[in-house]
Amino acid sequence: MESIMSDKEKTTEQQLAEPRLCGITLTSGEDILCIMAHDAQGAEYHVSNPALVLMKESETEEGKFQIVFSPYVPVAHGGQCKVQKSQVVTLYRPDDDLAEQYREIYRHPGFEKLLVAEETKAKDQAKKELKEQGIDAEVTFEG
């Protein structure tokens, strides 16, 4: 089966150029969650407010573990650093619950702007799809 890409679809490079919440597994074996964007030359990733993802034994349930966050490079100016592409094993979209935990703990100036941009983009897409069906309506999200 042959896959045909639309001119409207963004390439992986274009998607990575936009800041987004991302999980990164490093060659050291560490996992971090952060707001990540790829640099124009493609050699490194720009990360903001990186949080090391750790497993901790539950204090209330024996034999159970919970995920906790610890600041990664906490002394970095503005909570920002760069990660060399060669140090990355995997990039992934974090689980929704984990992403929500991260959002509750780690706030930085660009994050609120990113959330507003994502919501605006989703609203515009929904409005466009409704309009294509002949429905002219205002789109709002709750929750």
pLDDT in tens, 53-101: 999 988 888 889 988 999 898 888 777 889 999 999 999 999 999 999 9
Structure tokens at 138: 């205002």
Among the listed residues 80, 140, 85, the one whose alpha carbon sits nearest the alpha carbon of residue 110? 80
Considering only CA atoms, which of 69, 78, 76 is closest in space to residue 33? 69
CA gyration radius, the chain: 18
- Return d(Cα 16, Cα 61) in angstroms, integer: 39
How sure is the predictor about 13, in pLDDT bands with cuts at 50, 70 and 90? Answer: low
